[in-house]
């Protein structure tokens, strides 16, 4: 019975995966032709739940899980083993979801630091650019004055 219970749990997870696929195929964007099912399946939420379900299936199909549940069924009974299997599947799914959320939060924090660094760098660069523009304006005024003086000199020499 425990092996059947594991197989039932795996089948339920696979059914959930099929529902995810159907959901990706029936989004508003797909129906309006703005995206394909495959593009929808590349969205972070879809990837998240697909990863969680695949991991849960792999864990439930591990030989050690079946052996442990068989031992529990012998000691505690098939019904208890089935309940433990369901509980295990729920715990695995929740654990994977929490781990991904934790990683996501760490990633957000790191990205925020990097964006702050980029912002500070851009502010410094902006200041440098403004300073260079000011210097160029001053030099341009000097060149204009020299050019004006040269033109006036040329006119004077031409008039003589």
pLDDT, tens digit, for every residue of 4-63? 777 888 898 899 899 988 988 998 988 999 999 899 888 888 888 888 888 888 888 888
d(CA 55, CA 49): 10
Residue 3 has pLDDT above 70, yes or no: no
Q: What is the largest CA-CA distance in the chain?
A: 122
pLDDT, tens digit, for every residue of 70-109? 888 888 888 888 788 778 878 888 888 888 889 889 999 9
Exposure string of 138-156, with b = 16+ CB inside 10 Å and e = fewer, is eeeeeeeeeeeeeeeeeee
Predicted local distance difference test score (pLDDT) of residue 137: 94
């Amino acid at each position: 019975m425990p092996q059947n219970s594991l197989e039932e749990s795996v089948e339920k997870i696979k059914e959930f995966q099929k529902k995810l696929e159907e959901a990706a195929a029936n989004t508003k964007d797909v129906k309006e032709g703005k995206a394909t099912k495959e593009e929808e399946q590349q969205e972070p939420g879809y990837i998240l739940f697909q990863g969680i379900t695949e991991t849960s299936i792999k864990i439930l199909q591990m030989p050690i899980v079946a052996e442990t549940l068989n031992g529990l069924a012998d000691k505690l009974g098939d019904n208890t083993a089935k309940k433990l299997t369901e509980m295990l599947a729920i715990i695995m799914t929740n654990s994977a979801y929490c781990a991904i959320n934790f990683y996501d939060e760490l990633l957000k924090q790191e990205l925020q630091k990097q964006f702050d660094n980029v912002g500070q760098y851009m502010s410094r660069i902006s200041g440098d650019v403004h300073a260079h523009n000011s210097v160029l304006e001053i030099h341009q005024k000097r060149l204009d004055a020299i050019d004006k003086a040269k033109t006036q000199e040329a006119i004077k020499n031409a008039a003589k």
